[in-house]
Amino acid sequence: MPSQSKKEWNDSCLSPTLKRSTPRQASFPTSSGIELDTVYGPEDLGGFKYNESLGYPGEYPFTRGIQPTMYRGRLWTMRQYAGFASAEESNRRYRYLLEQGQTGISVAFDLPTQIGYDSDHALAKGEIGKVGVPISTLQDMEILFKDMPLDKISTSMTINSTAPILLAMYIAVAKKQGVDPVKLDGTIQNDILKEYTARGTHIFPPRPSLRLITDIFQFCGKSVPKWNTISISGYHIREAGSTAAQEVAFTLANAIEYVQAAIKSGQDIDAFAGRLSFFFNSHNNFFEEIAKYRAARRLWAKIMKERFGAKDTRSMMLRFHTQTAGSTLTAQQPDNNVVRTTLQALAALMGGTQSLHTNSRDEAYAPPSEEAVTIALRTQQVLAYESGVADVVDPLGGSYLIEYLTDKLEAEAQKYIQKIDELGGALAAIEQGFQQREIQESSYKAQQALESGARTVVGVNKFVSPYPPITGILKINPKEAEKQLARVDQVKKNRDQAKVKQALGQVEKAARGTDNTMPVILRAVEAYATLGEICDVLRGVFGVQKEFLAF
């Protein structure tokens, strides 16, 4: 019997009803709207040839990974994003996680800290320590990292508008420990553009915010050379409702804007590009997510080499952290969240992430309890040591489906980047509301699909059943906020006020001029000027951003 063509094979898999009505592929789109056939073969890859299209891990364009041996040489960094209540409580959680085998610290800051207000500000009332650790002064940071040698751990700080201040505090704590800043290893998110499109914790207008970011690039390049100066985030773009293709496109478009800003400030591409890092989401569509990471790596390598003329291979490598999708966690049947997180974590590892956070089953209710965060960490450890997933680099490379999806996602992302270029770049497009509208439309369609039943969420709109309420939810003790307020008050009373005033004056002078702001911000935090005081000076110089209207 002669072999079947792909069309004949697909047709043979359809029911008579489906044959007579619509093609099957139209019924199985990915989150990015890529329609899927029943089966894939060589003809879907455009005559692909292994060596020409793929290469090997560690080779340009890095489709298959940035390191030749990947997890065989070194496992990914296991970071559990944590921070709540107070510096003391958060310190206890970090030390607990390190004892349980976590290999890197990931700091969550509370909302007042994120938007530049001290804990004693009127707007901070009711928010102290709720979604992260409150940091108002250097003393808070000293307590947060007490008994944790900063020259021996890798720290990631998810902070954006106030990134220069928190980084300065971290450096100041290291110096107090006797650690030379050149030995510090870690990452600061420092990605302001996605705040205007997806998250909203911005303070200053975009252009002075970009100036602060490039100041960090320049300062760390000379003084903290091992530090990753930005983590360009698609995670929050995806959490806001984007598709996988939009997540890649808008993230890389923001990265292009940062690179252009750094070059415009006089920095050489190969002097800073090797310290850029990225932060992606891992959602439920298993194969699409794996392909997404591969597409992002390949597209970024081409952008850096062909668009910016980077010469250093490290400048072309897309290194990224992944977090499983918080927006997929459900309050209904919360144990299902363990399964979702495992699936998402596996996709991230198949896609070649360098660092991973796994969400906890109870995060639809509250910050993770100790029990829940331990299960989340154990999920990573089981995958690392029991599953065999770390034994082979890019294990699905060459899969007809994976290569097809990688090509399609790259092409879709490139179309968006081209459109953003036509609008004047990421910043100009944000000011015109382009990315916001696209994300809102995708989010709306996803919600419509959920409510109509076209998209199934187990336990929410299908397989619904009574489920016992979750127990052991973490509750923030209000006394922790009282202790935090007392500490801020004590620091303000006991510091050298003249030294603080002088340091804040230097911050204002640098902000109004063209000098790098990082050295004077470092001097200000070392004088125990508060985060809010420094931000108030910068607000006075830069102004405050009003929300963009997307319509």
Residue 332 burial (10 A CB sphere; 0-12, 13-18, 19+): middle
Given a contact cutoff of 8 angstroms between Cβ atoms, the answer to whether 227 and 168 are in contact is: no
Distance between CA atoms of residues 479 and 485, nearest Å: 10
Residue 25 has pLDDT above 70, yes or no: no
User: What pLDDT was estimated at residue 8?
Assistant: 60
Residues 308 and 269 sit within 8 Å (Cβ to Cβ): yes
Give 136's contacts (C-beta < 8 A, 6+ positions apart).
Answer: 113, 118, 119, 120, 484, 488, 491, 530, 531, 532
Q: What is the pTM of this model?
A: 0.91
Cα dihedral across residues 63, 66, 72, 74: positive or negative: negative
Q: Is pLDDT of 10 > 70?
A: no
Residue 236 has pLDDT above 80, yes or no: yes
In the block, which residue shows the tokens 């127990």?
A: 471
Q: Which residues on neighbouring strands pair with residue 81, listed in sequence order?
A: 106
Query: Encoding tokens for residue 482?
Result: 């009282």
Q: What are 228's strand-pairing partners?
A: 187
Q: In what order do the strands lie in the sheet with 276-282?
A: 227-228, 185-188, 154-158, 104-108, 77-82, 355-357, 320-324, 276-282, 230-233
* Range of 41-50, 68-77, 460-469 with top mean pLDDT: 68-77
Once rounded to an integer, what is the mean pLDDT over residues 520-527? 98
> Is residue 478 pLDDT above 60, yes or no?
yes
Would you state the pLDDT for residue 3? 55
State the first-to-last Cα distance of the chain, in angstroms, to the nearest integer. 59
Rounded Cα gap, residues 141 and 157, in angstroms = 12
Do 344 and 287 touch, CB atoms closer than 8 A? no
CA–CA separation, 75 vs 99, rounded Å? Answer: 18
Distance CA 136, CA 503 (A): 16
Q: Is 115 helix (H, G, I), strand (E, B) or coil?
A: coil
Q: What b-and-e string marks burial along 108-127, b requiring 16 or more CB atoms within 10 Å of the CB?
A: bbbbbbbbbbbbbbeebeeb
Please report the pLDDT score of residue 49 as a whole number: 46
What lies within 8 Å, CB to CB, of 537 at 6+ separation is 504, 507, 508, 511
438 vs 436: CA distance, rounded Å: 6
Q: Where are the domains of the chain?
A: 50-452
What is the share, in percent, of the chain residues with pLDDT greater than 70?
Answer: 93
Under CATH, to which class is 50-452 assigned?
Answer: alpha beta
SS3 sequence, 130-146? CCCECCCCHHHHHHHCC
CA 153, 108, 427, 238 torsion: positive or negative? Answer: positive
For 372-383, what is each residue's pLDDT tens digit?
A: 999 999 999 999
281-323 pLDDT, tens digit each: 999 999 999 999 999 999 999 999 999 999 999 999 999 999 9
What was the pLDDT predicted at 19?
Answer: 40
Q: Is the pLDDT of residue 68 over 70?
A: yes
State phi, psi for 19 to the nearest 5 degrees: -60, -40
Q: What is the chain's Cα-based Rg?
A: 24
pLDDT given for residue 246 in this prediction: 98
Mean pLDDT of 225-239: 96
Please check the confidence at residue 517 and state whether its pLDDT lies above 50.
Answer: yes
Q: Please, what's the b/e burial string for 341-376 (b: 16 or more CB within 10 A of its CB; e: otherwise)?
A: bbbbbbbbbbbbbbbbbbbbbbbbbbbbbeebbbbb
Task: Out of 77-81, 181-185, 188-192, 469-473, pick the least confident.
Answer: 469-473
Cα separation, 471 vs 366, whole angstroms: 11
Task: Give the mean model confidence (pLDDT) for residues 423-443.
Answer: 96
**Tens of pLDDT along 191-214?**
999 999 999 999 999 999 999 999
What is the spatial distance between Cα 523 and Cα 506, in angstroms, rounded to a whole number?
A: 9
- Average pLDDT of the segment spanning 418-445: 96
